[in-house]
Amino acid sequence: MGGSHVSHLDTWSWTGAREAAPVSPWCPLVPALEAPEIGLCRMEPLPSSAQEMKHMENLSSLAQGSGPMEFQPSEREQPWELIMDKKHFRLWRRPIQGSHLYQYRVFGSYTDVTPRQFFNVQLDTEYRKKWDSLVIKLDVIERDVATGSEVIHWVTHFPYPMYSRDYVYVRRYNVDKENNLMVLVSRAVEHPSVPEDPEYVRVRTYESQMVIRPHKTFDENGFDYLLTYSDNPQTVFPRYCVSWMVSSGMPDFLEKLHSAALKAKKMELEVRDYLSKGSDTAPEPCGPAQLEYA
């Protein structure tokens, strides 16, 4: 992902990869065959995330002024196309080379909720079952003590007449106090505990990265976020239909996520606090039945 770049890759085996090598907190979770010299992943420098955030902040400021907005990718990358401009966020897309799919990028800001609340609400699977009506199933399948990675099984409704989709993915999160950033990375995997179910369509290509930068601190209102996302929903619909579903579904999800963070704040709902654990200590081993919420 290189800070925000999401490559178009198929799933890889969690069981084999988790034993290959230690994982950097900023690892984009690419297959071992992509970087055999270090095992599980290519080492990605932390400044890339910070630089991407700075670039998007400058872009947002420019868009609000009188000058034209430009978003210049590197020479080897496809150009980004702005497809939505809302009050709290902007949405871009670009074609993924060698496929019929798009990669999406959202840059947004909120001033009425803290970065910690926004971050924790995304990670708290039990709370998401309450605020996301599209969730059919959302469970932590396994947690790796050494890396802090969690394997998640997520089943979600898709628009009629499509079948529901299920995802098996590994996620890593990290809080970097020095650079004042929080990062959440997810990527599709295979796991022996979750075989394919004929009732759902398995999504085998899925990657996302959320980078959050507080305006001040992790516990004061106000932050910017950069979400980069791609998946292959395994649909026979043409690309423009899939793009429409993503571009219409993304604002709805972000609004629900924001509302859930506000609700947790105003009603003082106790969601699990990932911030302190992500900063300094490795998580304790636990299975789905052992997860404890504050």
- Residues 163-219 have pLDDT tens digits of 999 999 999 998 888 899 999 999 999 999 999 999 999 999 999 999 999 999 999
- Specify the higher pLDDT residue, 2 or 156: 156
* Within a domain: 288: no
- The answer to whether residue 5 is domain-embedded is no
* Bridge partners for 90 per DSSP: 85, 107
Q: What's the structural domain count of the chain?
A: 1
What CATH number should be reported for the domain holding residue 82? 3.30.530.20
DSSP 283: P
Domain interval for residue 209: 12-280
In a domain, 24, yes or no: yes
| Distance set, CA 291 to CA 126, 135, 163 (Å) | 10, 19, 30
In this structure, is residue 291 part of a structural domain?
Answer: no
Per DSSP, the residues of 226-271 read: EEEEEEE---SS-HHHHHHHHHHHHHHHHHHHHHHHHHHHHTT---
| pLDDT number for residue 234 | 83
- CA 83, 174, 48, 30 dihedral sign is negative
In this prediction, residue 270 carries a pLDDT of 64
Answer whether residue 197 is part of any domain.
yes
The answer as to whether 174 is a domain residue is: yes
Residue 128, H or E segment = helix 125-131
Q: What is the pLDDT of residues 58-117, one digit of tens each?
A: 555 544 443 334 455 555 678 899 989 998 999 999 999 888 888 999 999 999 999 999
Average pLDDT over all residues of the chain: 74
Question: Other CB atoms closer than 10 Å to residue 196's CB: what's the count?
Answer: 12
